[in-house]
């Protein structure tokens, strides 16, 4: 990837003269099942541009209540696009067509904020990296079509969902109006994201890219990393999933509170009990880095291309010892 970055052909991408960015947008559109794609610095910006092109101030957005858009984008839908966001109660990060329908507001009324956009997150970060089954994705998209709602897929980890379910990213993404993909997660790039959709919507996304300050210059150096990732880092994601599973099973065997059913992709969520900060420190001292989650007693271990089988063995040894004092022994319920 470093070589690809160093050797990238570049140009002014604001003028669409960067051949590497142009190539990434062409391949990215195909990869995500759409006519066109636009290269962006981050997946947060990609989501915010999507919502900005689908909704107008005073419209309503429906999204699962623990989604990244809801929890980790600083109220962006309200701040950037004037959207009222309603958080749907999710199960495993998913919600049903009936939940969407029951929230649809009367667009003819002068009193209410009309429902305009529905977003799903696949895989769902705070649910533990869980993937949506394809029939449920299709059912949400069909409901959006029936009720004339824009459908957006936050596919920051779409590749993990595709590998876990055995369904192509393009097949999962094609029914949506817009799909986003992040290159700086399992795909292992330093930065970069895509938004994909119809040519008409992507013309608006290109304006959004300038509006949100994401138009770059010789961005081919980053696009080259993303192209490298599409060529070399997609299939290997299955290894991350297998390692996460082995980590989860090893920890569960050692008595650590891990919900095995939850482990579908590259996350292992561990319930460390009330002293989460202390547990994180002890794990760090023994060489294992984990991050916090939205659930107050739960931390997240992530497998990725820098984590080897030996690292998993080491973590299976280190984590139970580090958690000895705080382990709850109570299985996660969610």
Ligand X SMILES: Cc1ncc(COP(=O)(O)O)c(C=O)c1O
The residue ranges that bind ligand X (CB under 6 A) are 42-44, 47, 68, 121, 125, 154, 156, 182, 184, 193
CB of 236 to ligand X, least distance (A): 20
| DSSP per-residue codes, 204-232 | HHHHHHHHTT---SSTHHHHHHHHHHHHH
Closest to ligand X by CB, 149 or 156: 156
| 181 within 8 A of 28, measured Cβ to Cβ | yes
| 237 within 8 A of 33, measured Cβ to Cβ | no
CB of 272 to ligand X, least distance (A): 21
For residue 19, the surrounding DSSP H or E stretch is helix 19-32
Find, among 294, 240, 232, 239, the residue nearest to 267 by Cα. Answer: 240
Q: Give the integer Cα–Cα distance in Å for 186 and 35.
A: 24
Closest to ligand X by CB, 125 or 143: 125
Q: Give the integer Cα–Cα distance in Å for 237 and 304.
A: 8
Find, among 265, 260, 247, the residue nearest to 332 by Cα. Answer: 260
CB of 184 to ligand X, least distance (A): 5
Closest to ligand X by CB, 156 or 307: 156
Closest to ligand X by CB, 158 or 251: 158
CB of 294 to ligand X, least distance (A): 11
CB of 250 to ligand X, least distance (A): 25
Closest to ligand X by CB, 88 or 156: 156
CB of 317 to ligand X, least distance (A): 28
Phi-psi domain of 329 (left: phi exceeds 0; alpha: psi -120 through 50; beta: other): left
Closest to ligand X by CB, 257 or 262: 262
């Amino acid at each position: 990837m470093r070589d690809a970055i160093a050797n990238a052909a570049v140009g002014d991408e604001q003028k669409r003269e960067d051949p590497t960015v142009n190539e990434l947008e062409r391949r990215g559109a195909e990869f995500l099942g759409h006519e066109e794609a636009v290269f962006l610095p981050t997946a947060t910006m990609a989501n915010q541009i999507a919502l900005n092109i689908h909704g107008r101030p005073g419209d309503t957005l429906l999204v699962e209540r623990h989604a990244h858009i809801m929890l980790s984008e600083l109220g962006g839908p309200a701040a950037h696009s004037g959207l009222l966001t309603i958080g749907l109660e999710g199960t495993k990060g998913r919600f049903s067509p009936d939940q969407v329908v029951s929230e649809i507001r009367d667009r003819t009324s002068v009193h209410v904020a009309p429902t305009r956009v529905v977003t799903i997150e696949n895989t769902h970060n705070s649910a533990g990296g869980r993937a949506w089954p394809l029939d449920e994705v299709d059912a949400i998209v069909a409901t959006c079509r029936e009720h004339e709602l824009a459908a957006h897929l936050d596919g920051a980890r779409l590749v993990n969902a595709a590998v876990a379910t055995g369904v192509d990213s393009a097949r999962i993404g094609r029914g949506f109006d817009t799909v986003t993909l992040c290159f700086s997660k399992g795909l292992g790039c330093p930065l970069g994201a895509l938004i994909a959709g119809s040519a008409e919507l992507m013309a608006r996304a290109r304006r959004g890219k300038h509006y949100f300050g994401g138009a770059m210059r010789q961005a081919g150096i980053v696009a080259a990393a993303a192209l490298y990732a599409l060529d070399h880092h997609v299939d290997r994601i299955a290894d991350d999933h297998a390692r996460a599973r082995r980590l989860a099973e090893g920890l569960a065997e050692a008595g650590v509170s891990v919900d095995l059913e939850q482990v579908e992709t590259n996350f292992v969520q561990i319930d460390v009990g009330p002293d989460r900060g202390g547990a994180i420190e002890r794990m760090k001292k023994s060489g294992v880095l984990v991050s916090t989650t939205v659930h107050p007693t739960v931390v997240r271990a992530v497998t990725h291309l820098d984590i080897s089988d030996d690292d998993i063995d080491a973590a299976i040894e280190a984590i139970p010892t580090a958690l000895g004092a705080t382990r709850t022994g109570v299985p996660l319920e969610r």
